[in-house]
Amino acid sequence: MIDPSELFSSQSHSFNQGVACHLGLEAAAVLSHIIYLLKLKDVEKRDRKCWLHKTQKEIADSLKYLSEDQVQRSIKKLVGCGILIKGSFNLDPFDRTNWYCLFDEVILRDYAYCEVVQ
């Protein structure tokens, strides 16, 4: 039996209902987390865009209810529909960490209500 005190973590996640309805809960959670990190300014400016440099494993570790494969599929879906842009600006040719930015930074401004509450 699960101890009820283990069910509630110090973090609560929220996401956009429209994204969840059209692309699925997993993609909505991943997008919300990426936007949260972009708002924290955990970014690097390149080509007049704010880029996030995170591995899919790092994203999955933050979203403990998603596997690395689920994160990978969600990112592929978000890139495929044009919400995210995926890039590679690594200096080390063996570093395969992807970089992500929003197609339109208006999304970042309008997505104000989607954040992680601690």
pLDDT band at 12 (very low <50, low <70, confident <90, very high): confident
What pLDDT shows up at residue 117? Answer: 34
Residue 2 forms part of a structural domain: no
Q: Record the pTM.
A: 0.81
Q: 64: domain CATH number?
A: 1.10.10.10
Is pLDDT at 23 greater than 90 in this prediction?
A: yes
- The answer to whether the CB of 54 falls within 8 A of the CB of 100 is yes
Residue 30 forms part of a structural domain: yes
Residue 34 forms part of a structural domain: yes
State the DSSP string of 55-80.
Answer: -HHHHHHHSTTS-HHHHHHHHHHHHH
Name residues whose C-beta falls within 8 Å of residue 46's C-beta, 6 or more positions apart in sequence.
Answer: 87, 89, 99
Residue 62 forms part of a structural domain: yes
What are the C-alpha distances in Å from 100 to residues 5, 9, 37, 88, 117? 35, 27, 11, 9, 22
pLDDT band at 28 (very low <50, low <70, confident <90, very high): very high
Query: What total of structural domains would you count in the chain?
Result: 1
Residue 118 forms part of a structural domain: no
H or E segment at 38? helix 25-39
Neighbour tally for 79: CB within 10 Å: 15
**pLDDT (tens digit per residue) in 40-75:** 877 788 878 889 999 999 999 999 999 999 999 999
Residue 1 forms part of a structural domain: no
Q: Which residues span the domain enclosing 103?
A: 10-110
Residue 97 forms part of a structural domain: yes
Residue with more model confidence, 105 or 91: 91
